[in-house]
Amino acid sequence: MTSGPAWEAADAPDNAYLDGRNTDAAIRALHELKGAPFFLGVGFLKPHLPFVAPKKYFDLYDPAALSLAATPEPPKDAPAIARHSSFELRTRTGVSTAGPIDAATSRQLVHAYAACVSFIDAQVGRILAQLDALGLSDNTIVVLWGDHGWHLGEYGIWGKATNYEIATRIPLIIRAPGLAGNGRAAAGVVESIDLYPTLAALAGLPAPNALEGASLVPMLRNPAVVGKNIAFSEFPAPALREWAAKPLSPAMRQTFFGPLIEEVDAKLKAEHGARFDRKIFEDHVKGYSVRTDRHRCTVWIDRRAPDREPLAVELYDHRTDPGETRNIAAQPEQREVVAGLRALLRCL
């Protein structure tokens, strides 16, 4: 059940690790592709678990100077169904299998995560430098993006796969030759589905009519452009998931995680009473979120019966509470806001 150490800092060159070798392969590919139109996708694993990188990147940081999560407790009045027990991390050696992750371990994890980010920064830098060296930078669109965010102890969670802002907001950097927005930040709401139409527009190619995303080219020309006003995300209920989208298996309940899973079951029973059915919560409950420029609203429903009353609702006001520390969905003065956002989610 264990998966090896959560972190490692080997005194080794970059290409001792897979991400370094992927960079080497990308650079070789650029030499082969130059002189003709090309699309090159380069995938990096870090900073995903395990947090492993060459020691020189760990040496960039003083662990004592690194900050731990500013919001280590769950949001006030938030449902237990929205959080998970960090099973993916807890399968790693050196990490406790139950209870909070202690401060010393948390600091080591944050240190290792930061090292991994710097490791990947260096790999991206190597590729960009090669584009310059080959004379390709002025005619190459570069997109840096990730598929999910990551909790580093926020709300007591370590890992991905929640509907909170920290797990659904992703890195997204686009460099398009000749556009005024290069090197500037844009505050508009965007989604991953916007990448396809954006790349098609930048490359002068027709985009299929069925695409749901919107081209970000206007925002790339002028970062002050507002763009769309909502973004959607969805995840299966994290509470009874091993990690990501994998439901808790009977075998998982027989491991050393058994007592921790029983604690989760007890919390859900206390919150939902007769509505709690473990099988339904494991297999069919999903959270759907809508994010506007001000609010994040999440409804937790049995996806087989989307018109039934939700099992739980969350609302966070980023104007007054950017850390999502208070679920205000039940407050009477938020009734109209919740109704409007839920109406948007029904359109999915």
The radius of gyration of the chain from alpha carbons, rounded to an integer in Å, stands at: 22
Over range 60-76, report the average pLDDT.
Answer: 97
Other CB atoms within 10 Å distance of the CB of residue 60? 12
pLDDT on residue 246: 84
Bond from prior residue into 47 cis (ω within 30 degrees of 0): yes
Question: What pTM was computed for the model?
Answer: 0.95
Least confident of 58-67, 110-119, 228-237: 228-237
Q: What local confidence, expressed as pLDDT, does residue 347 receive?
A: 65
Rounded Cα distance between 169 and 150, Å, is 9
Q: Which strands form 295-302's sheet, in the order they lie side by side?
A: 231-236, 285-291, 295-302, 312-317
pLDDT recorded at residue 245: 73
Contacts of 158 (CB under 8 A, 6+ apart): 86, 88, 89, 101, 109, 151, 152
**pLDDT exceeds cutoff 70 at 152:** yes
- Helices and strands in the chain: count of H runs, count of E runs: 11, 12
Q: What's the mean pLDDT in 224-236?
A: 92
Strands 172-175 vs 142-145: parallel, antiparallel or unpaired: antiparallel
Architecture of domain 7-221: 3-Layer(aba) Sandwich (3.40)
Kindly report which listed range (93-97, 130-134, 164-168) carries the lowest average pLDDT score. Answer: 93-97
The distance from CA 41 to its chain's CA centroid, rounded to whole angstroms, is 20
Say whether pLDDT at 96 is over 60.
Answer: yes
What pLDDT does residue 141 have?
A: 98
Res 156 pLDDT > 70: yes
Handedness of CA 338, 340, 346, 348 (dihedral sign): negative
Are the C-beta atoms of 151 and 51 separated by less than 8 Å? no
Residues of the chain with CATH 3.40.720.10: 7-221
Exposure letters 323-346 (e unless 16+ CB within 10 A, then b): bbbbbbbeeeebeebbeebbeebe
pLDDT of residue 133: 98
Question: At which residue do the structure tokens 């009977």 appear?
Answer: 250
Predicted local confidence at residue 346, as pLDDT: 84
Q: Distance between CA 301 and CA 308 in Å, rounded?
A: 8
Q: How many CB atoms lie within 10 A of CB 287?
A: 25
CA distance 310 to 317: 20
Confidence of residue 348 (pLDDT cuts 50, 70, 90): low
Percent of the chain exceeding pLDDT 70 equals 99
Beta strands 285-291; 295-302: pairing state = antiparallel
Q: Which residues are bridge partners to 27 per DSSP?
A: none
The lowest-confidence range among 2-16, 70-84, 160-174, 233-247 is 233-247
Residues 247-271 have a mean pLDDT of 93
Supply the pLDDT for residue 3.
84
d(CA 296, CA 165) in angstroms, rounded, equals 8
Beta bridge partners of 143: 174
The closest of 137, 161, 157 to 149, measured between CA atoms, is: 161
Query: pLDDT value at position 199?
Result: 97
Tens digits of residue pLDDT in 23-34: 999 999 999 999
Q: What is the mean pLDDT of the chain?
A: 95
Determine what percent of the chain is predicted with pLDDT higher than 90. Answer: 91
Question: Given this model, what pLDDT does residue 306 score?
Answer: 87
